[in-house]
């Protein structure tokens, strides 16, 4: 995993306010198996909300299914679900997991997810 990145909540909010779709997103960490990002959305009433997204690849770029990886992915997805993340299948075979987080808790949630990944996918 990469060094921990700082999440600039104010910059995310400003970018979301300027965006045509009223949303901004930053990738915080990635590997072949996952991507973690933080984002902000601005509601029609002008209120910001913040979220963390984890995208998990169900298969890597090989033709053979890696059952050990699928088992680890399942353990990780269960942990995310238990933490309140919504889980959605994407068209590319990945699984998008998202949770709304308060600005005060987004950094600690990110660190918790990084630690969970480290424990689930030891290198």
pLDDT digits (tens, 9 = 90+) for 13-31: 999 999 999 999 999 999 9
- For every residue of 16-27, which 3-state class applies, written as one string? HHHCCCCEEEEE
pLDDT digits (tens, 9 = 90+) for 50-96: 999 999 988 777 678 889 889 999 999 999 999 999 999 998 889 99
Residue 17, domain member (yes or no)? yes
Please give the residue range of the domain that contains residue 36: 9-120
Residue 4, domain member (yes or no)? no
Residue 70, domain member (yes or no)? yes
> How far apart are alpha carbons 64 and 22 in whole angstroms?
40
Residue 2, domain member (yes or no)? no
pTM: 0.89
Residue 1, domain member (yes or no)? no
| CATH code of the domain containing 42 | 3.90.1150
For residue 66 the two structure tokens come to 């890696």
Residue 42, domain member (yes or no)? yes
Residue 56, domain member (yes or no)? yes
> How far apart are alpha carbons 41 and 64 in whole angstroms?
38
pLDDT of 2 reads 45
45-69 b/e (C-beta count within 10 Å ≥ 16 → b): eeebbbbbbbbbbbeeeeeeeeeeb
Count of domains in the chain?
A: 1
Residue 115, domain member (yes or no)? yes
Confidence of residue 4 (pLDDT cuts 50, 70, 90): low
């Amino acid at each position: 995993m990469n060094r921990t990145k700082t999440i600039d909540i104010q910059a995310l909010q400003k970018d979301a306010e300027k965006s045509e779709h009223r949303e901004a997103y930053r990738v915080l960490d990635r590997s072949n198996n996952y991507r973690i990002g933080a984002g902000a959305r601005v509601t029609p009433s002008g209120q910001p909300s913040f979220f963390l997204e984890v995208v998990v690849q169900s298969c890597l770029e090989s033709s053979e299914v890696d059952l050990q990886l699928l088992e680890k992915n399942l353990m990780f997805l269960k942990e995310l679900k238990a933490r309140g993340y919504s889980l959605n299948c994407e068209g590319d075979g990945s699984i998008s997991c998202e949770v709304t987080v308060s600005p005060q808790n987004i950094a600690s949630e990110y660190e918790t997810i990084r630690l969970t990944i480290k424990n689930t996918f030891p290198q």
